[in-house]
């Protein structure tokens, strides 16, 4: 790796960023519930958002702002209320949230991005939001990254943040990031472009690198597709999924140009941060006890391998078997079989880690089921499925489905 991971890193590790996390009063628990991230100078920005047709009001606001192409100065995030499925009032509230933040910071509303996470269908209590923004502005600090990471959590049990450092054109460049998400996690995000294609994952990246908007957007796309778009906790794609990166150029490096060695170095570091946070989300998924890497190979192309992997990762039967360490391999083959991807069953091979399970579509002769079960009892293991001899392959990260997941989501609102 051409970078080093920094201890206790966060979104304020890069130069020129401040953050805060406060208790506004949105959560009955009294836990922190509003975060603010600010760049001291205008920053280039890129974002990717949910593909859910019920996109939340803050997602629609952010898409509009980013399509405008202006630099970004701040991101304000509340947890506890999603502001999704809230109609015209929800849209007005998202805009008002940006406008009030801008007023308190002395910037324009079009320089502020907004995110929300929590219960769908409830309107934001704007008096509480404004109170939280007042507190957050007062609390801004270069050491505020940890507080911000805590304030965006919902059913998460741990903060998720990271930062790395590397050299570009003789200058020290840093990337910092934070994310939240433990349930309603199956991100299928698409980049926000000038002409876009269209519990929650929220992820924010900062960098002091100098990089143009198009090069930044391209880098975000690579990192996204190799990280967050490869995870499935429960198979539900949220209304609020958001991934944003801000680049303020304060490192003073020569501006990064796409498809140059410097750009690929930047992408490598960004992908590392995104992958680490994506995997941390799976490990901290609601009720999760197992981290499962699904490797599918032998298809005609990567998209076909992905479709098979997602069918397996979304199967409640597969996920509950992993929870019970039940080496019920038939459920995996069944899910692959209904994935609508054609293959020859007689060419299928399956391993749990490096333990043989299926050869040529049939159970391994004299199979060592104790060894298979021992793999599934581990905290982390691989499901390696080969369905043919084609060049296609895909890696996906998922988890088991436990009693605790049902307990959490049976009374999420109450």
CB proximity list for 103: less than 8 A, separation 6 or greater: none
> Per-residue b/e over 125-142, b at no fewer than 16 CB within 10 Å?
beebbbbbbebbbebbee
Q: How far apart are CA 326 and CA 295, in angstroms?
A: 19
Of the candidates 13, 50, 179, 200, the residue annotated as catalytic is: 200
Q: How far apart are CA 187 and CA 181, in angstroms?
A: 10
Q: Check: CB of residue 39 under 8 Å from CB of residue 139.
A: no
Eight-class DSSP state of 54:
T
> Per-residue b/e over 309-332, b at no fewer than 16 CB within 10 Å?
bbbbbbbebbbbbbbebebebebb
Q: How far apart are CA 278 and CA 298, in angstroms?
A: 25
DSSP E strands in 50-103: the ranges are 72-81
Taking each helix axis as running N to C, give the angle between helix 87-105 and helix 126-138, from 0 to 180 degrees, rounded to the nearest 10. Answer: 20
Would you list the DSSP string of 294-347? EEEEEBSSHHHHHHHHHHHHT-HHHHHHHHTT---HHHHHHHHHTSS----GGG
Phi and psi, residue 130, nearest 5°? -65, -40
Q: Check: CB of residue 265 under 8 Å from CB of residue 213.
A: no
Q: How far apart are CA 331 and CA 323, in angstroms?
A: 13
Q: Check: CB of residue 32 under 8 Å from CB of residue 150.
A: yes
3-state DSSP assignment of residue 364: coil
- Is 155 designated active site? no
Phi and psi, residue 24, nearest 5°? -85, -30
Q: How far apart are CA 344 and CA 150, in angstroms?
A: 48
Give the count of beta carbons closer than 10 Å to the beta carbon of residue 335: 20
Q: How far apart are CA 387 and CA 297, in angstroms?
A: 6
Q: How far apart are CA 217 and CA 270, in angstroms?
A: 12
Q: Which residues are catalytic?
A: 200
């Amino acid at each position: 790796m051409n970078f080093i991971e920094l201890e206790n890193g966060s979104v304020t590790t890069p130069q020129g960023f401040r953050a805060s996390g406060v208790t506004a009063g949105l959560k009955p628990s009294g836990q922190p519930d509003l975060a603010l991230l600010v760049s001291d100078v205008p920053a280039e920005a890129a974002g990717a958002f949910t593909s859910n047709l019920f996109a939340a009001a803050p997602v629609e606001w952010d898409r509009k702002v980013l399509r405008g192409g202006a630099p970004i100065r701040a991101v304000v995030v509340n947890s506890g209320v999603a502001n999704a499925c809230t109609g015209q009032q929800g849209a007005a509230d998202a805009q008002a949230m940006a406008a009030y933040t801008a007023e308190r910071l002395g910037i324009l509303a079009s320089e502020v991005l907004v995110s929300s996470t929590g219960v769908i269908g409830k309107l934001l209590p704007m008096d509480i939001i404004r109170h939280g923004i007042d507190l957050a502005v007062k609390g801004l600090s270069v050491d505020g990254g940890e507080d911000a990471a805590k304030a965006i959590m919902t059913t998460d049990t741990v903060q998720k943040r990271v930062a790395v450092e590397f050299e570009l054109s003789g200058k020290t460049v840093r990337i910092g990031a934070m994310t939240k998400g433990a349930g309603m996690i199956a991100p299928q995000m698409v980049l926000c472009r000038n002409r876009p294609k269209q519990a929650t994952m929220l992820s924010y990246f900062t960098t002091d690198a100098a990089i143009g908007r198009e090069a930044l957007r391209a880098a975000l796309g690579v990192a996204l597709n190799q990280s967050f778009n490869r995870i499935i906790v429960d198979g539900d794609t949220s209304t609020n999924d958001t991934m944003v990166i801000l680049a303020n150029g304060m490192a003073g490096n020569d501006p990064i140009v796409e498809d140059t060695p410097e750009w690929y170095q930047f992408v490598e570091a960004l992908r590392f941060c995104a992958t680490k946070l994506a995997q941390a989300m799976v490990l901290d998924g609601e009720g999760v006890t197992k981290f499962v890497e699904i490797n599918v190979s032998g298809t005609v192309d990567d998209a076909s391998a992905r479709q098979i992997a997602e069918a397996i990762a979304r199967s409640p039967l597969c996920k509950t078997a992993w929870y019970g360490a039940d080496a019920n391999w038939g459920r995996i083959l069944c899910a692959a079989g209904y994935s609508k991807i054609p293959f020859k069953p007689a060419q299928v091979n399956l391993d749990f880690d490096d333990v043989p399970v299926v050869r040529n579509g049939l159970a391994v002769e004299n199979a060592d089921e104790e060894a298979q079960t021992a793999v599934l009892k581990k905290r982390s293991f691989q499901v390696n499925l080969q369905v043919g001899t084609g060049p296609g392959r895909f890696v996906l990260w998922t988890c088991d489905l436990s009693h605790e997941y049902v307990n959490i989501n049976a009374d999420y609102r109450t």
